[in-house]
Amino acid sequence: MLHSPACERNQEPILGLLSQWLPPGARVLEIGSGSGQHAIFFARTLAGLQWQPSDRRENLLDLAERIGLEGRDGLAPGARVADPLELDVDQADHWPERHFDAVFSANSCHIMAQASVANLIAGAAKRLAPGGLLVLYGPFQDGGIHTAASNAAFDAHLRSLNPAMGLRDAMEIKGWAQAHGLSAKADLPMPAQNRTLVFQRD
């Protein structure tokens, strides 16, 4: 199965954060689930968690394999991992019609085009229940300034692979979120020069 070392490294810190912010029995839509490691790990720890993994069509096969093999046994009491959903944030008809207590995405903003990040925020705002949370994890910059030399190097590497990729500006993301009725609630430092941005639907 597809395996992400980054998921393995960051799952414990993210779990600690989600444990504090998510309500009991939270319904969570994950954008860009990738290998599915986060979905399985969180559902094995957080009782009652209802986790909806999703990804683009080209990534669904690997994601579905992990969910099928690991997503039905050994979960925390009442927790459930749904079958993965095809979701391209740029396609309005891909988003599920139901509402969620949280929309979560890790290490996706810097591999998306800037317009796609804006679409992620707009789509999430429409699918969050009142008081619902948008949680974005990854490396970010502020006003065009990197918070660490390692992040600047990573940004340059991404842009050398694809000019559409690169670290996104947290200040810009906060502006987009506000425009869609999402209030900035936290900007939390995480290991390895990462951060978690938390927004709440008004």
CATH H-level, domain 11-197: superfamily = Vaccinia Virus protein VP39 (3.40.50.150)
pLDDT digits (tens, 9 = 90+) for 9-42: 899 999 999 999 999 999 999 999 999 999 999 9
Residues 6+ apart with CB under 8 A from 169: 140, 141, 142, 143, 144
Task: Give the model confidence (pLDDT) of 86-138 as tens digits.
Answer: 999 999 999 999 999 999 999 999 999 999 999 999 999 999 999 999 999 99
Q: For the chain, what are the domain ranges?
A: 11-197
| Cα gap 188→4, rounded to integer Å | 23
